[in-house]
Chain A
Amino acid sequence: MKKLRQPLWILRSLAVLAGGASILSCFSNRQNEGAKLYETHCSNCHGSQGEGLKRLIPPLAGADYLVQHRAELACLVRKGKQGPLLVNGVDYNQVMPPADSHLTDSQITNILNFVQTSWGNKGEIFTIREVSEQLRGCGGSDGR
């Protein structure tokens, strides 16, 4: 009896640990993934510090656009953007390409949250659910 119980106890605590870890990973939303994805997909244009490039590429650091267009940001990353846009009172008119390889809803969430919390930005965090909802609006959600 005793011999049986011990392995069970171990299994149970392992299960609890695993559950805890997966919940934790939800909250930490793989913090480095956002930074890595940003480096791969965004930083060539927007700069490693989100500084943009003169009047060619808008900054992300301290950009009012992030607040004013929060509801469009997921689709902007997924689909890219063309035509004039205004950031911090400066007009920009470059092509932003869609992501150069497929990004899942959760990867887009991580990129957005990296931008929202980097270089002094203190934007409201996105949940995956919110990002998926936005993406469904432009036919771009993959539910992952």
Chain B
Amino acid sequence: MMLSSFRRALHVGLLALGSAVALTACSDKTEESQVLPYIGERDVRPRADGGPADTIFAAIPSFTLTNQDGQTITNQTFAGKVYVADFFFATCPSICPKMQSEMLRVYEQFKGNPKVLFLSHTIDPAHDSIPVLRDYAQRLGIQDASRWHFATAPHDTIFGLARRYMTAAQKDGGVPGGYAHSGTFALIDSERHIRGVYDGMVKEEVDRLIQELPLLLKEEAAKQPKAQ
């Protein structure tokens, strides 16, 4: 009897504690999630005039790629927009179909908004020629290359970029298709900063991207009038 009432008290106490923690966690989260974090290494540079130091966030380097329509695309193509980037290859038999079907889900969600673009890089440029990329895009149902670019570049360029987008990619004869890579989706803001990294193989992670993308759009919209 004593034991059971003690147990009950403990139960109630734990429950109360648990919900208190949950509540604060909740309110903290809404505070924080108004603005997406800057992801990647940062550099703090002292200012010459002795003022407060500037924080330099990791940024996507300048790039020149070619898309499925044979058009050159650069950072300028994405100026004033946000975009989601990933790495794949057309004959990839392991994770790509799942990844690209998840990316397609994000695309469907935002295809009405021209401020949101998509960029899929092939990590097998030797095979994935422009006609192969075009066929792939069209088979996926993407007719408009200006919204979702399927892009190629020399091998080293692509692999260098993959690292900057936080995707691990390497040649590996031991896996089906010959390349091992992670299914990362990176969300990039209009100033080339990574604002979100998601596992494109996990539905819940992609759901999070779909929820967080509007937060970035809101931030970008607030920035716009100042820029003009």
Partner-B contacts on A (CB < 8 A): 43-45, 47, 53-57, 93-97, 100
**Residue interface bits B166-208, CB-to-A below 8 A is 1, else 0:** 0000000000110000000000000000000000000000000
Contacts of A56 in B (CB 8 A): 97, 100, 136, 139-140
Tell me if A53 and B140 are in contact (CB < 8 A): yes
Tell me if A97 and B95 are in contact (CB < 8 A): no
Apart from A43-B98, A56-B97, A97-B93, list 12 A-B contacts with CB within 8 A: A45-B93, A45-B97, A45-B98, A53-B97, A54-B139, A54-B141, A55-B140, A56-B100, A56-B139, A93-B135, A95-B91, A100-B176
Contacts of A54 in B (CB 8 A): 104, 139-141
Decide: A55 near B139, CB < 8 A? Known: A97-B176, A97-B177, A100-B176. yes
Cα–Cα distance between A43 and B97 once the two chains are bound (Å): 10
Interchain nearest-CB distance for B124 vs A (Å): 12
Tell me if B93 and A95 are in contact (CB < 8 A): yes
Partner-A contacts on B (CB < 8 A): 91, 93-95, 97-98, 100-101, 104, 135-136, 138-141, 176-177
Main secondary structure of the interface of A (DSSP, over half): loop
Interchain nearest-CB distance for A6 vs B (Å): 44
Tell me if B94 and A44 are in contact (CB < 8 A): yes
23 A–B contacts from the bound complex (CB under 8 Å)? A44-B94, A44-B95, A45-B93, A47-B101, A53-B97, A53-B101, A53-B140, A54-B139, A54-B140, A55-B138, A55-B139, A55-B140, A55-B141, A56-B97, A56-B136, A56-B140, A57-B97, A94-B91, A95-B91, A95-B93, A96-B93, A97-B94, A97-B176
Give the residue name and chain of the A residue nearest to B203 (CB). Answer: A48
Candidates A43, A53, A93, A95; contact of B100 at CB < 8 Å: A53
Cα–Cα distance between A45 and B140 once the two chains are bound (Å): 13
Cα–Cα distance between A53 and B142 once the two chains are bound (Å): 13
Contacts of A45 in B (CB 8 A): 93, 97-98
Contacts of B98 in A (CB 8 A): 43-45
Cα–Cα distance between A54 and B139 once the two chains are bound (Å): 6
Cα–Cα distance between A93 and B139 once the two chains are bound (Å): 10
Cα–Cα distance between A67 and B141 once the two chains are bound (Å): 27
Give the residue name and chain of the B residue nearest to A95 (CB). Answer: B91
Residue of B97, B100, B138 most packed against chain A (CB within 10 A): B97
Interchain nearest-CB distance for A74 vs B (Å): 19
Cα–Cα distance between A93 and B177 once the two chains are bound (Å): 15
Contacts of B141 in A (CB 8 A): 54-55
Candidates B97, B136, B138, B139; contact of A44 at CB < 8 Å: B97
Give the residue name and chain of the A residue nearest to B98 (CB). Answer: A44
Interchain nearest-CB distance for B148 vs A (Å): 13
Contacts of A43 in B (CB 8 A): 98
Give the residue name and chain of the A residue nearest to B93 (CB). Answer: A97
Give the residue name and chain of the B residue nearest to A92 (CB). Answer: B139
Interchain nearest-CB distance for B133 vs A (Å): 13
Interchain nearest-CB distance for B107 vs A (Å): 12
Cα–Cα distance between A44 and B101 once the two chains are bound (Å): 10
Give the residue name and chain of the B residue nearest to A56 (CB). Answer: B139
Cα–Cα distance between A97 and B176 once the two chains are bound (Å): 7
Cα–Cα distance between A96 and B92 once the two chains are bound (Å): 9
Contacts of B104 in A (CB 8 A): 53-54
Interchain nearest-CB distance for B174 vs A (Å): 10
